[in-house]
Amino acid sequence: MNTNWNRREFLQKTSAATMAALAAGAPVSSLLSGCSRTRKPGETTGTADTVILLWMAGGMAHTETFDPKRYTPFEKGMEGNRVLSTFKSVPTVLDGIHFSDGLQSIGKVMDKGTLIRSYVAADMGHILHSRHQYHWHTSYEPPQTVAAPHIGSWIAKELGPKNPVIPAFVDIGQRFTVGEAEELKAFHTAGFLGNEYGPFFIPDPSQGLESVRPPVGMDAKRFERRNQLYNDLISGGPMGEFGSDYQKESLKRSMEQAYMLLNSPEAKAFDLSKEPKASYDIYNTGKFGLGCLLARRLTEQGARFISVTTEYEPFKGWDTHENGHTRLEDMKKQIDGPIAQLIKDLDKTGHLDRTIVILASEFSRDMMVEGRPDAKVREQVKQPEILSDLKFYGMHRHFTDGCSILMFGGGIKKGFVYGKTADERPCKTIENPIHIEGIHQTIYHALGIAPDTHYEVEKRPFYSTPDGKGKAVMDLLA
């Protein structure tokens, strides 16, 4: 495989895969597992039936969050290689387990979940955020000749909606008007499974209600005309010209589902103004915090898969190419309270028993190593060996050999720690490495989705994980 794809080549290949998906016929579900064939709509055979993905977009440093190492305070003229963590560590509710300072609230709910300290991201040569995000969300390394479905789309397809009015797959917080927008679109899709299993986008959770009702000033008849015009435009576009009957019908069903939601009482779940003020204020740390609140409300109304992201925008958020320490102080304030409250609220109402909550990022970060020790790649950040300014104090390079993931609920072990990274640089995985296909199949197993689930596309099987070889990590399950 070519491991040096640039952004243009990545787009060309993924665009070609999308057009190929349009031209393909209906995916054939022959040889699917018995449970996938016989399951009734809304029924599951596992320990969970809902998934919430809390996506730390941009590369969350494990040594600065859930796997802290030796703390070294900033001193002008210090050696960068001395710095493993720029925050003090603080105890969690689990004996002997510490988090980085600023994550105390999440630390207090870890008796309800599992901490993975040994996720290893793929070695794909030159590191590009959108390529690693594509890999995490689909389990397939890009580019592919087939448009690979997002994990949320696989789940929506295999399990169907819990509530026919609420979209099965909801994506909260990511705009496509920022850098690498087209690359991000490449994996925010149902691929060959069809549009009805794709994400329902809510870029800003504070405006969620606007996503499920006609614009202000538009009456019902005018909206009907707009809807018909949209269908006409689709028919005359690439979908109408190149799409198969299956794809056209799938798009039609997705539009019908959206229209049904507009007129339903469940649409009130998108209105955050209905939330009691005391609860709203806890979640109101910004877009991500309100996204967690919306995810909780949609879980209660029957959404199947919900993704909430801190949003990937180059050089912002977790994408710390400089000022890593000060930037992470702000990021922790955005996520700590809302995530902890989400877990507590779901637990209090009983929803956590059947809901898997995952916190993850595409890869980690380190001050000195780009890539991994045995597979270093071209350095993208000018990080001096001697730190003369506070802006250099932080984890600014991409690191793929040791990442942290949190998992809660839905049959996941409680108060459990899996894997280990080295205490000295390079802080790489040294026990129980876990890769993305293992994460995906563990989720599928908990949901009762068979490990050999696949469809025939372009006369070859396409599995939920590459070649159907992904295996659930049973040690993570209670």
Q: Which residue has the higher pLDDT, 94 or 41?
A: 94
Per-residue model confidence (pLDDT) at position 377: 85
Nearest-angstrom CA–CA distance, 417 and 406: 9
Per-residue model confidence (pLDDT) at position 209: 80
For residue 385, count other CB atoms closer than 10 A to its CB.
10
- pTM of the predicted structure, to 2 decimals: 0.87
Query: In this model, does residue 32 exceed pLDDT 50?
Result: no
Nearest-angstrom CA–CA distance, 29 and 37: 9
Contact 205, 291 (CB under 8 A): yes
Domain ranges of the chain: 24-206+275-476
Which of the listed CATH numbers 3.40.720.10, 3.40.190.10, 3.40.50.1100, 3.40.50.9100 matches domain 24-206+275-476? 3.40.720.10
Average pLDDT of the chain, as a whole number: 87
Categorize the per-residue pLDDT at 250 as very low, low, confident or very high, splitting at 50, 70 and 90: low
pLDDT tens by residue, 405-447:
999 999 999 999 999 999 999 999 999 999 999 999 999 999 9
pLDDT tens by residue, 125-169:
888 899 999 999 999 999 888 999 999 999 999 999 999 899 999
Categorize the per-residue pLDDT at 110 as very low, low, confident or very high, splitting at 50, 70 and 90: very high
Per-residue model confidence (pLDDT) at position 247: 60
Per-residue model confidence (pLDDT) at position 88: 98
pLDDT tens by residue, 176-191:
988 788 899 999 999 9
Cα 112 off chain centre by: 20
Per-residue model confidence (pLDDT) at position 178: 85
What percent of the chain is modeled with pLDDT above 70?
80
Per-residue model confidence (pLDDT) at position 224: 62
DSSP string, 140-193: SPSP-SS-PPPHHHHHHHHH--SSTTS-SEEEES--SSSTTHHHHHTTSS-GGG
What percent of the chain is modeled with pLDDT above 90?
70
**Residues 208-225, mean pLDDT to the nearest whole number:** 66
**Residues 117-127, mean pLDDT to the nearest whole number:** 91
Tell me the residue type at 267.
Answer: A
pLDDT tens by residue, 366-375:
999 999 888 8
- CA-wise closest residue to 41 among 345, 378, 304, 417: 304
Nearest-angstrom CA–CA distance, 161 and 402: 35
Per-residue model confidence (pLDDT) at position 197: 93
**Residues 20-42, mean pLDDT to the nearest whole number:** 45
DSSP string, 259-306: HHHHTSGGGGGG-GGGS-HHHHHHH-SSHHHHHHHHHHHHHHHT-SEE
pLDDT tens by residue, 43-52:
557 999 999 9
Per-residue model confidence (pLDDT) at position 230: 55
**Residues 384-392, mean pLDDT to the nearest whole number:** 96
**Residues 285-308, mean pLDDT to the nearest whole number:** 97
Categorize the per-residue pLDDT at 31 as very low, low, confident or very high, splitting at 50, 70 and 90: very low
pLDDT tens by residue, 267-277:
889 999 999 99
Per-residue model confidence (pLDDT) at position 40: 52
Query: In this model, does residue 82 exceed pLDDT 70?
Result: yes
Query: In this model, does residue 66 exceed pLDDT 60?
Result: yes
Q: Can you read off the two tokens belonging to residue 325?
A: 């320490």
Contacts for 70 with CB less than 8 Å, ≥ 6 apart: 84, 85, 423
Contact 125, 141 (CB under 8 A): no
**Residues 444-460, mean pLDDT to the nearest whole number:** 94
